[in-house]
Structures are given as structure tokens and as C-alpha cells.
Amino acid sequence: MNPEPLDYAGPGSTEDRPRHPPAVTWLMTLSVIAFFAVGVLGLLYIDVLGAAAGGMMIAAAVFLLIAVFGFLSRPRPAFLAGAIMTLGAFLAAALAAGLSHLLEQQLEQRILATRPMNLSGVIVVSAQSDVGKDLAAMQAARSLNAVSAFLAFCLLVYLIVQSFGRRPD
């Protein structure tokens, strides 16, 4: 004699339907993974990337993680608050991508300045050297920030549409 479980949600409640479409769920999942990697890379290579680029990478990761886990994972997602935090993540990731690109160009110019002027052809930089490790970190930061900024922009478009394009239920 087991009693039937109580259904507090009732028929037709928001618990019966998914909060976000499957494509958006995948977008949020990929964004969380990419921004987590951005934060870890920024933290591990802050000495190479500098306080500005590394700090922006960490800030971008924090903004997006707060947006997804704090505002968009609720039973009733807070789309506008999520959009504001995602905008911060997008701007921080885009700025970090630009800064890491500038740092990479400066390092490439330093590498070229140390080579003889009459040397032509391919210049090989060993990945095991300090300069090679710095160059690889800057290239990884630039690429990962660019991908993360793109993902944040896509998520931002969805959130803006949900925030301002919704009809009252």
C-alpha cells in the first residue's frame, strides 16, 4: 500500500518542458567548457600573457560561469541578467584575444630582431625553448579567446531575443 507521490508542479507547468532548446543547451555546454579552459589558461600563463590579458581571460571565465550556472540554470531562467553577464564575458574574451594577438606580434618581432639581417627562409623556434613556450601560450590564448568570444556572442544573441522578444505567457 504505497501512497502516490504528490505532484506539486501540476499539469502544464514549466517543469514539464525543457528550459532551453537542445541547440542552446549544447551552446551553453560548449561555452562553459571553452571559458573554463580560458580561465585555466589565463591563470596558468598570467606571467607570460601579462596581468591585462590574463586578468581579462579570468574575468571572462567568471562572467560566463556566473551567467550559465547562476542565471540560466534556474527553473525560470533570468534571461536579461544572463545577457548582461554574457555581454561582459564576450567583451572580456574579445579584449583578451586582441591583447594576446598584440603580445604575440611583439614576441614575433623580438624573435625576428635577434636573427641576422641577411638570413632568409623559415625561422625555426624550438617549442622547448622559453621563447617557443611563450609563443605557443600566446597562440593558444589568442585562438581560445577568439572561439570563446564567438560562442559568447552566439549565446548573447539568443539571450537578447529571449529577453526582449518574448510574449507574455
How confident is the model over 82-111, as pLDDT tens digits?
A: 999 999 999 999 999 999 999 999 998 888
Collect all residues with Cβ–Cβ distance below 8 Å to 76 and sequence separation of at least 6. 14
Question: Which 3 state secondary structure label does DSSP give 166?
Answer: coil
How confident is the model over 7-50, as pLDDT tens digits?
A: 555 555 555 555 789 999 999 999 999 999 999 999 999 999 99
pTM: predicted TM-score of the whole model, two decimal places: 0.82
Across 56-60, average pLDDT: 97
- Amino acid occupying residue 65: L
- Amino acid occupying residue 160: I
When the pLDDT of each residue in the chain is averaged and rounded to a whole number, the result is 87
DSSP assignments along 12-36, one per residue: T-TTSS-SS-HHHHHHHHHHHHHHH
Other Cβ atoms less than 10 A from the Cβ of 66: the count is 17
The phi, psi pair for 39, rounded to 5°, reads -65, -45
